[in-house]
A and B are shown apart, each in its own frame.
Chain A
Amino acid sequence: MAAPQLLPLELIDKCIGSRIWVVMKSEKEFVGTLQGFDDYVNMVLKDVTEYETKGNTKHVTSLKQILLNGNNICMLVPGGQGPTVACS
């Protein structure tokens, strides 16, 4: 059986309480502390930095606590530090 596999949502569950890097389907990314998520992978994050790429520039915003709609999430990277602001 597929018993020894690590389920994707189990990996996200292990990340509760630590930093997570969320990449959206659009050119937007969030780095924050994961407080929780639900079956739809809607996420509650705190102390969030939002990175939005418009053309060549990245716009950075800080948000205290957010509920992120799981509909447009593409990738989740536990312990990720987010995009490096200076990318060639």
Chain B
Amino acid sequence: MVKTVAPELKNYMDKRLRLELNAKRVVIGVLRGFDAFMNVNLDDAREVLPDGEFRPLRQTVIRGNSIELIEALEPLDA
């Protein structure tokens, strides 16, 4: 029996985050949910393109597999 633990993203809930994905993609959005695989549910999301332009995404699911880095753009509570 394997115990899988959810990632400790509770402190990041409802905060604006900057995610770096593989293939040098950058996405900014508000964390609304996550699961044990670190799949992430973002609200009001946008992809930041290399030239600085935004590609609006609104509500988005990001596969945990492709997340390399999570940066909080606003202070966390804990």
- Residues of A at under 8 Å CB distance from B? 2, 5-12, 25-27, 41, 70, 73-80, 83, 88
Contact of B41 among A11, A27, A70, A88 (CB under 8 A): A11
- Is B66 a contact of A8 with CB atoms below 8 Å? no
**Which residues between 1 and 51 of chain B lie within 8 Å of chain A, taking CB atoms?**
6, 10, 13, 21-23, 25, 27, 32-35, 39-41, 47
Known contacts A2-B13, A75-B62, A77-B57, A8 near B27 by CB under 8 Å? no
A6→B41 contact, CB < 8 A: yes
Q: B residues bordering A, Cβ < 8 Å?
A: 6, 10, 13, 21-23, 25, 27, 32-35, 39-41, 47, 53, 55, 57-63, 66
Residues of chain B lying within 8 A (CB to CB) of residue A88: 53
Interfacial chain B residues near A11, Cβ < 8 Å? 33, 41, 59, 61
